[in-house]
Structure 1
Amino acid sequence: MGYIQGEGRQQSSLFPPTLEELVPEDHLVRVIEAYVARLDLQALGFSKAEPLKTGRPGYDPADLLKLYLYGYFQRIRSSRRLEAECQRNVEVMWLLGRLAPDFKTIADFRKDNSAAFQATCRTFVQFCRQVGLISGQLVAIDGSKFQAVASQRKHLSLTKLKRQQAKLEAQIARYLAELDEADRSEAAEVVDRSAVKAALQQLESRHADNLTAQALMEVQGLEQFVVGESEARMMRTHQGARVAYNVQNAVDGEHGLIVHHAVTQDGSDNQQLEPMAKAAQAILAQEELTVTADAGYSNGEQFQACDDAGITAYVPENRGINNKGDDTPLFDRSAFSYDVENDQYQCPAGQWLSLKQVNGLQRIYALRGDCTACPLKSRCTKAKRRHVTRHVHEAAFERMHQRMQVHPEMMVRRRSIVEHPFGNLKQWILGNGRFLLRQLQGARTEMALAVNAYNLKRAINVMGARRLIELLG
């Protein structure tokens, strides 16, 4: 029995198929077509949204936007690859009406419309809110590091430069010692003086460049700098230290749609709870909001700010533990009872610790005398007297602790909501989780397109393409 045979290449057809016949009614490109058709590109800020009256006609921004949305949906981000898709991909031919812009036109459109892409992403979130895909009952916040274009080798820091300076000075000293030894022993025929001098000159040039780089960084107050991508930062990731950006996501708990995202230069999440929660609250237009995040977002000042804004946060506390240095625990702060009226602490031995000083957001309490005669000293402190710190927003920490005690399941819900979108963004849309565009603006442009593609995919999975096309129409 033979194989299934294809149609002969020379076989003629009385009625050749049209592009319309080749694209199913519930195909992705029809969703993108309906979505872009409802957008006011001029209001969103796209360049050339109004055609010029003179000169050669340009490409409609709507067509290029469709191309990028399709590309990011299909993990095709390169402008050269998108150019090739226009000439060979039937789906793209249907979407663009057989237009085939060159890669430079495609790349320039992405470069020139960063703010417009971000506005488009927010517009789709508002649409999802209107059709009930986003409930706003619970929002989970998390951050993840995405690699920048620049490599780790391009990263400079004052610490690294000083280490290099010491190595260069040692090498220079070794070459000078070799020349001196050659002069003393009159063994010039053994040592190639011209080669040594050339190497010495090269080392001295590198040493001068090193000192110049250090001086420039100190004048500008920089602790680190990435050559070729000055806005990227060295950050700790699961794969070790990488030049990266910290991407923050606020994800709705109903269907896992991303309500708000931000690309930051902060290496940690400690300062991101308040801005992300307030941004999500503004987008959802709610007076009250419930958010959850992991212990990396623990920040008393921001806990208080969220409470003041009507945002109920569920975040595990991340505070230091008092120990002897050998992991033997000493009396924790919780062993000391606080007297609110007199603003003082009572220790386990019954002594009172009064306010000694205020250091930033920390209030420091200590005993008036010392703890030498206290029978509990070995279990309390190794210093002469015990100090207890109280955060200015300690009450906010206590409220957070009580909330987490009542609802410990919030951490399980947080994981199930927010980690799925990051997995999709890194592996499905951005491929290797690395940006193609340089600097903060480029990273924000790419992330806006990636988030828009992710939200579009989620909406299709939840509602179905046909229903979504109806609602977009």
Structure 2
Amino acid sequence: MHYIQGEARSQGSLFPVALDELVPEDHLVRVIEAYVARLDLREMGFSKVQPRKTGRPSYDPADLLKLYLYGYFQRIRSSRRLEAECQRNVEVMWLLGRLAPDFKTIADFRKDNSQAFQATCRAFVQFCRRVGLITGELVAIDGSKFQAVASARKHLSLKQLKRQQDKLEKHIAQYLAQLDAGDAEDNREPIDRAAVKQALQQLHRKHDNNLTTQALMEAQDLEQFVVGEADAKMMRTHLGPRVAYNVQTAVDSEHCLILHHAVTDAGTDNQQLEPMATAAKAVLGQEALSVTADAGYSNGEHFQACEDAQITAYVPPNRALNTQGDGQQFERDAFTYDEPSDRYQCPAGKTLTLKQLNRGSRIYAANPHDCASCPLKPKCTQAKQRYLSRHAHEAAFERMEQRLAAHPQMMLRRRSIVEHPFGNLKQWLFGNGRFLMRHFSGTRAEMSLAVQAYNLKRAINVLGARRMIELLT
């Protein structure tokens, strides 16, 4: 029985195969070619768009952009691996016309065009908006932590530095005690004074550096600092504390396309609702917008700001729990607020009046005499009188709770919309979820390319490559 035989490596051909014949009509690279051809790279801010009249000619930014879009689509982010693809991958040879830039040229292009990559993301979103892939009916917002290049060993915090300072001072005291003991007349165990003095010098040097670092951080009002990557922060992740960035996305509900993204250094999401919702609204160009997010975005000030901007938000309010009396005492909702008189009424019918303002919150207190004689006091408070705080944006919290009660399906919709893109970005594009570049300029360039590749993949899956090429040309 014979096997299928391949062609001999030394076999010549009368008509050599053209590159164009090796790439199908509906291939990804043809979509990338059509997309990049319609971009105005000068308007988007790419460097070296205008070739110089003297010196060695540079590579066309369009060719390098095609290479990066193809690389991120195929999970190839390393500039050295992209260089290798140019020399062995037929698809890349077709896309670049057999150009083979070196890895330094490829890496510099990504480093120098962070803002321009973000502009290409916005341009593709507008294209998807025009062809009906984005409707703007509902936008889901979410954040996820992506590890930075810097390791945890490069992280400094004031608490950590103060602990190190105490340890260094104890070590210094121990060595000084050894020297004092060596000077005693009854000392029978000789010590190496030169070694001890050398160790003391090293300890003093470390101690001085520690104090200098603390002084610099306090002068700049910094609680933490990452050596070599000042924009990154130590954050809590599902893997434990990591030096990372918090990536925010706003995702359209129609086909889970990412409308807007941002790379931040915020350790939590509770300050991100309003800026992300406002940015998504600006991208869509709508007068009103509906957004949904998880409880991590709960913020009364942002709830009110969204309402003022005609943004209807659906976010579970994250309120403090009553921990007094093992949680068996009356909760806040057991008290009725009367807005005209600005008072609360307790379950026993007594009145709580405004006592003071505390950082924007209003503190109400019951009359101590009313509480002393109240039969419900064991279920209300262990103090002499019951206190109740009202958030500065309590009305916005109440309206949010009413909206969620009227639309309980919003949290399920949020999960189905926004979890899909992050799953793809972390597992499909980033692999281990770590950036390759440092600082905001580098991480934003990488994330823009990743978001562009994700959106391109989604659009091809929905429309098909042939239809995409027709719409782009």
Question: Smaller-chain TM-score range?
Answer: over 0.9
- Give the corresponding residue for 1:341: 340
1:187-225 residue CA offsets vs partner (Å, 9 max, x unmatched): 576422222222222111111111111011111111111
Q: Distance in 1 between matches of 2:191 and 2:375?
A: 73
- Give the corresponding residue for 2:457: 457
Deviation of 1:185 (Å): 5.8
- Give the corresponding residue for 1:350: 349
- Give the corresponding residue for 1:129: 129
Q: Distance in 2 between matches of 1:437 and 1:329?
A: 52
Q: Distance in 2 between matches of 1:188 and 1:104?
A: 65
8 Å contact 2:245–2:265 — kept in the other structure?
Answer: yes
1:145-178 residue CA offsets vs partner (Å, 9 max, x unmatched): 1111111110101000011111111111122222
Q: Within 5 Å, which residues of 2 pair with 1:434-453?
A: 434-453=434-453
8 Å contact 1:146–1:433 — kept in the other structure?
Answer: yes
8 Å contact 1:301–1:393 — kept in the other structure?
Answer: yes
Q: Within 5 Å, which residues of 2 pair with 1:100-115?
A: 100-115=100-115
Deviation of 1:279 (Å): 0.8
Q: Secondary structure at the match of 1:244?
A: strand
2:427 alignment partner AA: Q
1:5 alignment partner AA: Q
- Give the corresponding residue for 2:328: 329
Q: Secondary structure at the match of 1:236?
A: strand
1:229 alignment partner AA: E
1:293-325 residue CA offsets vs partner (Å, 9 max, x unmatched): 000011111111111211111111100011227
Deviation of 1:52 (Å): 2.2
- Give the corresponding residue for 2:60: 60
Q: Distance in 1 between matches of 2:381 and 2:219?
A: 42
- Give the corresponding residue for 1:90: 90
1:90-146 residue CA offsets vs partner (Å, 9 max, x unmatched): 111111101111111111111111111000100000000000111111110000011
Deviation of 1:227 (Å): 0.4
- Give the corresponding residue for 2:25: 25
- Give the corresponding residue for 2:365: 366
Which aligned runs of 4 or more in structure 1 are off by greater than 6 angstroms?
A: none
- Comparing 131-140 with 188-197, greater Cα deviation is found at 188-197
Deviation of 1:278 (Å): 0.9
Q: Secondary structure at the match of 1:296?
A: helix
Q: Distance in 2 between matches of 1:21 and 1:56?
A: 32
8 Å contact 1:161–1:214 — kept in the other structure?
Answer: yes
- Give the corresponding residue for 1:120: 120
Deviation of 1:339 (Å): 0.9
- Give the corresponding residue for 1:10: 10
- Comparing 5-14 with 412-421, greater Cα deviation is found at 5-14
1:446 alignment partner AA: E
Mapped pair 1:304 → 2:304: yes
8 Å contact 1:246–1:263 — kept in the other structure?
Answer: yes
Q: Distance in 2 between matches of 1:405 and 1:102?
A: 58
Q: Secondary structure at the match of 1:389?
A: strand
- Comparing 196-205 with 456-465, greater Cα deviation is found at 196-205
Deviation of 1:328 (Å): 2.8
Change (3 A) 1:183 1:139: same
Q: Secondary structure at the match of 1:349?
A: coil
1:19-48 residue CA offsets vs partner (Å, 9 max, x unmatched): 111111111111100000000000111111
Q: Secondary structure at the match of 1:269?
A: coil
- Give the corresponding residue for 2:417: 417
8 Å contact 2:41–2:62 — kept in the other structure?
Answer: yes
Normalised by the size of structure 1, how large is the TM-score? 0.97
Mapped pair 1:267 → 2:267: yes
Q: Secondary structure at the match of 1:91?
A: helix
Q: Distance in 2 between matches of 1:198 and 1:329?
A: 63
8 Å contact 1:321–1:329 — kept in the other structure?
Answer: no
Change (3 A) 1:102 1:188: farther
1:32-81 residue CA offsets vs partner (Å, 9 max, x unmatched): 00000000000111111122233322111100100111111111111111
- Give the corresponding residue for 2:39: 39
1:378 alignment partner AA: P
Q: Distance in 2 between matches of 1:29 and 1:292?
A: 35
RMSD, matched Cα: 1.4
Q: Distance in 2 between matches of 1:149 and 1:297?
A: 27
Give unmatched runs, 5+ long, in structure 1: none
Mapped pair 1:249 → 2:249: yes
Change (3 A) 1:7 1:340: same
Q: Distance in 2 between matches of 1:172 and 1:386?
A: 53
Q: Distance in 2 between matches of 1:114 and 1:122?
A: 13
Give unmatched runs, 5+ long, in structure 2: none
Normalised by the size of structure 2, how large is the TM-score? 0.97
Q: Secondary structure at the match of 1:461?
A: helix
